[in-house]
Amino acid sequence: MKRRFTLLVLVLSLVSLASAAPRIFLIGDSTMANKPADLPEWGWGMALGAFLVDPAMVQNHAQNGRSTKSFIDEGRWEKVRAELKSGDFVLIQFAHNDEKKDDPKRYADPATTYRDNLRRFISETRAQGATPLLATPVCRRKFNAAGKLTDTHGAYPDAVRAVAKETGVALLDLERATAAWLQATGDEPSRKFFMWIEPGAHPKIPDGRKDDTHFVEAGARQVASLAVADIRAQKLPLARWLK
């Protein structure tokens, strides 16, 4: 009887939390974005809801191929900003496309424009009474001949860290967390977390794929778990809404 009562209290507590839960707006690139259900590819934002008291808290606005610059220029940020309410959160993770110097529609210099765009997201989020969170970009799966993971993001992770420190915004250092995970897992074993699809293994990808940037479901869930672990470790306000 006592056990049933304890279980009932727990269930009612979770229901109460879910009913009052804030929204978590995700803005970023393809490594975070929602993907079509008929593909094996997952952005890690798709896996985040499983760690929350209410999966519907996640409002995933991340989009394939977007940088801080194109996300703003296409009006995607304005759409998110207009929806924000007091108590909401905005989780910001860009860099993969900001790095593309040969594409003026997306490139953002890590020393100037990229930082300015992050500052804009932060200040406009705060102006709406919401809480911004910064995340460094997740690592690509790129190993050298000696089996050591190599850097592909250059100055961008440090730019995010600098803006977080300057503005007092909480930082989820996913670049370091995913680097440690991939290095510990190793070159060949880590392929199972990415879009390494054998020819003929999936009807939508008949020729197969070797993609060291984008995740399958297992990889997305692992990255989401790393983000959640950091939220818990830092005892951020968002931790209240974790399971």
User: Which sequence spans correspond to the domains of the chain?
Assistant: 21-241
Distance CA 61, CA 78 (A): 11
Distance CA 188, CA 186 (A): 6
pTM for the whole structure:
0.91
Distance CA 175, CA 82 (A): 29
**Residue 11 clears pLDDT 50, i.e. is over it:** no
Radius of gyration, alpha carbons of the chain = 19
Share the mean pLDDT of the chain: 94
DSSP β-bridge partners for residue 242:
52
- Bigger pLDDT: 25 vs 5: 25
One-letter amino acid for residue 35 of the chain: K
Distance CA 209, CA 151 (A): 22
Distance CA 29, CA 91 (A): 12
pLDDT in tens, 153-168: 999 999 999 999 999 9
**Residue 19 clears pLDDT 50, i.e. is over it:** yes
Q: How many CB atoms are located within 10 Å of the residue 19 CB?
A: 9
User: DSSP state, 146?
Assistant: T
Structure tokens at 156: 């961008």
**Helix boundaries (H) for the chain:** 2-19, 45-48, 68-73, 76-83, 113-127, 156-167, 174-185, 217-234
- Bigger pLDDT: 32 vs 2: 32
- In this structure, whether the domain defined by 21-241 belongs to CATH 3.40.50.300 is answered with no
pLDDT in tens, 74-126: 999 999 999 999 999 999 999 999 999 999 999 999 999 999 999 999 999 99
Residue whose token pair is 């220029």: 73
